[in-house]
């Protein structure tokens, strides 16, 4: 048996990130993810910036909030707007992560 050949085949026709083992589309929302991630953590009412503080930005929400800037005519212009926006948000943080779910 050639293991490389066997392992080269897909297990399912659709990725498991999108469907369950039966092939049904996964349903989900960010609120349930938030509850799962924070259920055993005491979340503070306010966050103070320290030398080790990190900022995680929801990329899709940021994109929706920025919208189509009126002065942006090219993708480069849009990229400049996004970078400027992120730089303003990230003042005082040691690390910034932008996460997109799509």
The residues spanned by each domain of the chain are 10-99
Give pLDDT, residue 32: 74
pLDDT at residue 46 greater than cutoff 80: no
pLDDT band at residue 10, thresholds of 50, 70 and 90? low
pLDDT at residue 43 greater than cutoff 80: no
Closest CA to 71 of 62, 81, 61, 63: 81
Higher pLDDT, 43 or 57: 57
User: What does the mean pLDDT of the chain come to?
Assistant: 80
CA distance 13 to 10: 7
Give pLDDT, residue 85: 92
CA 10 to chain centre: 26
If you average pLDDT over residues 61-65, what whole number do you get? 87
If you average pLDDT over residues 72-81, what whole number do you get? 87
CA distances to 23, 28, 48, 57, 81 from 94, rounded to whole Å, are 42, 31, 13, 14, 21
């Amino acid at each position: 048996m050639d293991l490389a050949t066997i392992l080269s085949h897909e297990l399912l026709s659709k990725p498991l990130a999108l469907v369950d083992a039966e092939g049904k589309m996964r349903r989900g929302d960010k609120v349930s993810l938030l509850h799962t991630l924070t259920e055993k953590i005491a979340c503070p009412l306010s966050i103070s910036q320290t030398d080790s503080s990190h900022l995680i930005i929801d990329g899709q929400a940021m994109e929706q909030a920025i919208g189509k800037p009126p002065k942006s005519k090219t993708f480069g212009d849009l990229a400049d707007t996004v970078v400027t926006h992120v730089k303003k948000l990230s003042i005082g943080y040691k690390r910034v992560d932008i996460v997109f779910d799509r």
